[in-house]
Structure 1
Amino acid sequence: MAIRFRRRIKLAPGLHLNVSGSGLSLSAGPRGASMTFGGRRGTYMNAGIPGTGFSARQRVGSAAQSLSSNSSPSTSNSGTGGVSITITVEDDGTVVFRDEEGGVLDDRLTRQAKQEAKDAIQGLMQRACDEINSHTQALEQIHHATPSPDRRAAYEPQPYSEPKPARPLLRKYGMLDRMLSSRRGEVDQANAEVEAAYNASLLAWNRHRQEHEAREVARKAIIEQRVLTEVPAMEIVLEESLMDIVWPRETAVSSEIRDHGRVVMIDVDLPEIEDLPRTIAAVPARGYKLSIKELPVTRHQQLYMRHVHGIGFRIIGEIFFVLPKAEQVVLSGYTQRPDTATGDVHDQYVYSVRVNRRDFAGINFANLPAIDPVEALGRFDIRREITRGGLLKTIEPFEAPAAA
């Protein structure tokens, strides 16, 4: 039985700056960081804290003189004695200063913002630069979190997250309520309805909590016991494990468990080289625009090779980690390529590797950053052809071994 499962991650275009409880940070989303400057109290960075409904405020410059009275009405904020602006780093690396209405700030106010908060803006540019480059790093480092096959996945209980309903405050009799029985009856009726609603919600909460606990008991049995003997339990554990991995790019995996769990066949739909980022960023010594350059062709090909082999390396390690009975993994990666004879696009395998648990355990998992996944998979029984230009040619994948 084959299982297909996917984890999709979308990266929003554009980079925007927010402030969290730990200081300035970078996140994706429409909300920028606003900066108020020109008031008697100095320059401040203000931004909403995502998911909280609160905002943070941090001083980033020294006190400055108020803006002159001839400031543009569209950008002046007479209530605070300053101007609120939003600073964003665009995809091309340009730092853009906008007013509260989204319009580009005029040159005079832009110069004043740069003068009063130069260090803060440089820090935000560095964070934007790090964010851009982190996408490339994540592709090359996907194998860094591979668990050792000498370890075994342990059951981790998932707490029941729904908060318990709070007991409501009942109405008390007022002066008129004490004097008029009809008023007391209305209060009693309202309290009875509130109490009934609370009891119903509490009953539902307890039922859902018991259902959650029952699922946890079943999940614990699957991970600790049934995974050793039952193929359906192995399929569940493997699927959940691979879905929990944060893939830098959309990844589709098909699996088939054979020979009572001793052999695992894996097909991976690999990304195309065109899907990988081609740029790197750097903060210039002067100016307010990130230096964004294209990766050299050879570096881009190296990135692709490390990523597609890193995917295989990570999946193999995850299988041995969560399936104690697995002795061998046969993993084959394919991409979509046009047929040179017809032009039709077909799935074509580009590498296929057969790995035994004992051989995989020979890798030093305490030093994964030093490992090149291209060379690491080359230690095993592998089918692949790499051109002089560093591209993968089409191959025939391994077939499943005969059942014992």
Structure 2
Amino acid sequence: MAFRFRNTIRLAPGIRLNLGKRGVSLSAGVRGASVTLGKNGLWGNVGAPGTGLSYRTRLSGSPSHQRRAQREQQRQSNHTASSAPELSAFKAMLDDKGQVTLVNQEGQPLSASQRRMVWSDYADRITSWLQSEMDTINGDMELLLDIHQDIVPPGSAIPDYEPEAFNQPAPTKPERQRRPSRPVKPELEVSFWDRLIPGRQQRLIQAQEQDLQQWASELEAWKQKCLQIDKAYEHRLQQYEQQVVEWNRAWEAHQHEQTQLAQMFTERLKTDDSLVADILTAELNELDWPRETLVDFDIDLAKQRVYLDVDLPEIEDIPTRSAEFGARNRRLLIKDKSERQRREEYAQHIHGIVLRLAGVVLGLFPGIDRVVVSGYSQRLDPATGNINDDYLLSVVIDKPRFAGLNFEQLDQVDPIAALERFELQRKMTKTGTFRVVEPLKPV
């Protein structure tokens, strides 16, 4: 019954947080992917496996992502100090009914005056501990019940081709070599005393003639050297200019190639089943998810459809108790959930799963008009004693009606009622009991 399709992806549970100076950001642990959560939603740069292509997509425009991240940050912060406050003078204990008991090191209850002093001095620390205990009891019910609040409108997350950078460095203009210093022409200097001494002036004149000959030779060598430097620079400059021409051609060819790839990418999103499958796999891998969930899928771009089979979480994953703060945040009100309440919460959760997965597909791919989602659960067959994969619901979600959801106020959307607007196969009682249905088949 399950595993009807050829592609399988396992959604891993957990929200991964990066806590930096600029606030909270989410990250997905997918090799080759980077994700950023900012004020405009969650964006990611991803390399689609097997394609050699990178693309950029808006994974979520819902503010609930940021609220969820902040909530998870607080949850993790509480868990780092989740043990009961224990100081040299007292320690705190919580009973099954949520009542806080303060005792001394010998285990004896504190007196009324001591309790007042403790609550006065350590109220924030005890409240933080109670918050952690409450989170432990409630589990991640907020994530389970509100999973549908992270969907995006159809077409709002269509991937954009991420152009490859032109990595060829630009040519560097050569620098002209400095010319050597020009030889200095020797000057004849004859003093008064040189004229008085016999033969002195004549010797100076002869030395001057030799110096002039040496200078003339050095001057000619200097001119030749300068000419060589100028010619070498002109040659390097011509080479540089040719390199610039070639670099510009290569840059223009790269830009043209990237433009063509971007245009092909847009078209392939509508025609290439394998590319769509790779992108859908990468995107599903990046979802923060409260429970491990197996999804099988198949893609039929010719009919503009995607088929999803979802191995739903079990009702046993729903916490059996709930807790909230009591009077003045000094105790917890802990209640056992009724079986009906758990069934109703489970129903809301699995309907939310279907909506969110459908939203991923319709948000990403312009060539998909319908998503067929079928969800099954492992349940005991009392007639045989075997565990069967029983389908609980199957629905065809079309893009126009899906676009009619109020994406600005998803907290006002009831996922159970939302799915009833579509072609739905489901047998569910008012109390949240599901009976087996036949899943819709690819046509």
Q: So what's the TM-score if we normalise by structure 2?
A: 0.55
- Are the counterparts in 1 of residues 271 and 301 from structure 2 also a CA contact under 8 Å? no
Among 296, 308, 311, which residue is 1:266 paired with? 308
Letter in 2 for 1:6: R
CA pair 313-286 structure 1, distance change in 2 beyond 3 A? closer
- Residue 367 of structure 1 deviates from its aligned partner by 2.1
- Are the counterparts in 1 of residues 100 and 330 from structure 2 also a CA contact under 8 Å? yes
- Residue 25 of structure 1 deviates from its aligned partner by 4.3
- Residue 152 of structure 1 deviates from its aligned partner by 3.5
Aligned pairs for 1:284-303 within 5 A: 284-285=326-327, 289-303=331-345
Mark the runs of 5 or more structure 1 residues left unpaired by the alignment. 12-20, 38-74, 77-82, 161-216
CA pair 384-322 structure 1, distance change in 2 beyond 3 A? same
Letter in 2 for 1:391: T
Greater CA drift, 221-230 or 365-374:
221-230
CA pair 29-121 structure 1, distance change in 2 beyond 3 A? closer
- Residue 227 of structure 1 deviates from its aligned partner by 2.3
Q: Say whether 1:366 aligns with 2:408.
A: yes
> Which position in structure 1 is the counterpart of 2:76?
27
> Which position in structure 1 is the counterpart of 2:366?
324
Among 139, 143, 148, which residue is 1:138 paired with? 143
> Which position in structure 2 is the counterpart of 1:62?
none
Distance (whole Å) between structure 2 residues aligned to residue 247 and residue 299 of structure 1: 22
Greater CA drift, 233-242 or 380-389:
380-389
- Are the counterparts in 2 of residues 338 and 344 from structure 1 also a CA contact under 8 Å? yes
Distance (whole Å) between structure 2 residues aligned to residue 332 and residue 243 of structure 1: 19
- Residue 290 of structure 1 deviates from its aligned partner by 2.3
Aligned pairs for 1:248-267 within 5 A: 248-260=290-302, 262-267=304-309
The superposition leaves residues 172-226 of structure 1 with CA deviations (integer Å, 9 ceiling, x where unpaired) of xxxxxxxxxxxxxxxxxxxxxxxxxxxxxxxxxxxxxxxxxxxxx8x98896553
Tell me which protein shows more helix as a share of its residues: 2
The superposition leaves residues 127-149 of structure 1 with CA deviations (integer Å, 9 ceiling, x where unpaired) of 65367547212211100111101
* Corresponding residue pairs, total: 289
Among 271, 280, 283, which residue is 2:325 paired with? 283
Q: Say whether 1:306 aligns with 2:306.
A: no
Aligned pairs for 1:194-273 within 5 A: 224=266, 226-260=268-302, 262-273=304-315
> Which position in structure 1 is the counterpart of 2:126?
121
CA pair 372-35 structure 1, distance change in 2 beyond 3 A? closer
Distance (whole Å) between structure 2 residues aligned to residue 90 and residue 232 of structure 1: 56
Aligned pairs for 1:357-396 within 5 A: 357-396=399-438
Letter in 2 for 1:7: L
Distance (whole Å) between structure 2 residues aligned to residue 275 and residue 133 of structure 1: 12
- Residue 9 of structure 1 deviates from its aligned partner by 2.6
CA pair 338-26 structure 1, distance change in 2 beyond 3 A? closer
CA pair 229-365 structure 1, distance change in 2 beyond 3 A? same
CA pair 147-289 structure 1, distance change in 2 beyond 3 A? same
Letter in 1 for 2:11: R
Give RMSD over aligned pairs: 4.3
Identity %: 30
Aligned pairs for 1:344-355 within 5 A: 344-355=386-397
Structure showing greater radius of gyration is 2
Counterpart secondary structure, 1:342:
coil
- Are the counterparts in 1 of residues 144 and 349 from structure 2 also a CA contact under 8 Å? yes
Distance (whole Å) between structure 2 residues aligned to residue 105 and residue 26 of structure 1: 29
